[in-house]
Amino acid sequence: MGQVIINGAELIGTGKSVWLDKDLDAAIKRMVRLSKTQEITERERLHVEALDLFAKGSLPKACSLWEEILLYQPTDLLALKMSHDTYYYLGHQQQLRDSIARVLPCWTPQIPLYGYLKGMYSFGLVETNFYDLALKVAKEGLALNPGDAWSTHTLAHVYEMRADVDTGLKYLKQTENNWMGSDMLSCHIYWHWALYYIEKGEYEAALTLYDAHISRSCFESGTMLDIVDACSMLFRLQMEGINVDDHWKKLVRVTKSHAKDHILIYNDVHTLMSLLGAKDTDTANQIITSLQEVSQTPGENYQYQLGRDLGLPICRAITEFANGNYSCAVDLLNPIRYQIQNIGGSNAQRDLFNLLLIHAALKSDSTAHQKLARCLLLEREAFKPNSPMTERLIRKATALHNVD
Ligand SMILES: [Fe+2]
């Protein structure tokens, strides 16, 4: 189980894979081999099998095995956490919520790490738009453990989804000492903090946070979670009209080596943004070519399967947008907008693609696209009222001469 835990921790960060890292490949094979020669329990066997499937890219099947463990062992925190993070990578929002809900009554506050279930459950709740309940459950988690960064993260999401930016800013500032030491999550929470500034149109403040925390963390840790947040932040600022060319040139030093990873489509598309931002078109083209190749590979790798129908159109849309072909970007992105959830991440993270479509439609010469931009903004306003960013974009759309 020690090997399951250490290999699981390596894999769940999505920066390494068995086909890119020989040591990790050998470690997974050793774990599987040992499981067959040693006397182990059925639960341990399922853990090994689930991780082996995850390593092969068969993420939904890995989740089924962790769920099988939880049927009999609802307090198996490893199965719970691995499946929770994998549901996040799969964009399976209801499963994020329900997988915790169905075991929570079996736990008591005396069981070690009980409080962390509140953080996980609350995140599933916010991702399925139960904002009030998410707030309540996250606050219960924080009452048990103020250092529970996942519960803090849920609160950051609720304030984001409600465009309640001033409360979000105040809350993260007040509690910074509680979560800044959480090495896997602190960069992401700073990303949420900077997102509030973008919402308010305070771009300098967002860039200051980017430089002080997001970029710094990204270079220090080199983890994919930090890298994708850095790419996402710069891309959003760029869409808002801010020149971040120098920042892209610096960031590409850590992203370039991931151009052929294809561990998660979500990571690939963010890596592409950085390469295009840094004007490294050769490597940007390589991402698309190699994604094309792996997406034709037969087998059970779920991300490769997503590559053809989702990964490639998103990559092409980002490229067309970067090249100023806004109409093409709209035509590529609009038909798949409701499927983009399948590349994983949270609603707040994937909002980048909603914004990309809106910006592309606003910049397109086509009257139909400009009308589409208006419709998308009305939809956005209905789902997330009182958003200063939406108001700014609506003003922009209203000023377009092509639209009545
Ligand atoms: Fe988040």
What pLDDT, in 10s, does the model give residues 6-61? 999 999 988 889 989 999 999 999 999 999 999 999 999 999 999 999 999 999 99
Q: Is it the case that residue 367 has pLDDT exceeding 70?
A: yes
What does the block give as tokens for 133?
């309940």
Is the sign of the CA dihedral 141, 127, 153, 62 positive or negative?
Answer: positive
What is the Å distance from ligand 1's center to 245 Cα? 25
- The predicted-structure confidence for 117-137, as pLDDT tens digits, reads as follows 999 999 999 999 999 999 999
Numbers of helices and strands, H then E, in the chain: 23, 0
What is the Å distance from ligand 1's center to 193 Cα? 10
What is the Å distance from ligand 1's center to 160 Cα? 9
Q: Is it the case that residue 184 has pLDDT exceeding 90?
A: no
CA–CA dist 82, 358 (Å, integer): 35
Residue list, CB under 5 A from ion ligand 1: 346
pLDDT category of residue 183 using cuts at 50, 70 and 90: confident
Amino acid at the residue 156: A
Q: Is it the case that residue 233 has pLDDT exceeding 70?
A: yes
What would the mean pLDDT of 333-342 be, rounded to a whole number?
Answer: 97
Average pLDDT over the chain reads 96
Contact 183, 221 (CB under 8 A): yes
Contact 149, 114 (CB under 8 A): no
Tell me the backbone φ, ψ of residue 305, rounded to 5 degrees.
-65, -35
Return the half-sphere exposure (C-beta side, CA atoms, 13 A cut-off) of residue 370: 15
What is the Å distance from ligand 1's center to 355 Cα? 17
Contact 366, 326 (CB under 8 A): no
pLDDT category of residue 402 using cuts at 50, 70 and 90: low
pLDDT of residue 404: 56
